[in-house]
Structure 1
Amino acid sequence: MTAVIAEEDINRIRWHCRRGMLELDMVLARFLEEHADRLTAPQWQEFERLVSLEDHALWQRITATSVTDSTVERLLRGCIIC
Structure 2
Amino acid sequence: MFRAHHMGSNENDILFGGFAAKYLETLSSEQAERFESLIAENDTDLFNWATGKEEVPAHLDHDVMAMIKTFVQSEAAPI
CA contact (8 A) 2:7 2:43 kept: yes
Overall identity of the aligned pairs, in % = 22
TM-score under structure 1 length normalisation: 0.68
Most deviating of 41-50 and 62-71 = 62-71
1:60 to 33, 39, 48: 48
Whose radius of gyration is greater, 1 or 2? 1
Give 1:34's match in structure 2, choosing from 22, 35, 42: 22
Give me the whole-angstrom Cα distance separating, in 2, the residues matched to 1:74 and 1:47: 11
CA-CA distance at 1:52 after TM superposition = 0.4
Give the number of the structure with larger relative contact order, counting CA–CA contacts within 8 Å between residues 6 or more apart: 1
Distance in 2 (CA, whole Å) between partners of 1:64 and 1:70 is 14
Q: Which runs of 5+ in 1 are unaligned?
A: 1-13
Q: CA deviation at 1:40?
A: 0.9
Moved over 3 A (4+): 65-69
Q: TM-score, normalised by structure 2?
A: 0.70
CA RMSD, Structure 1 to Structure 2 (Å): 2.2
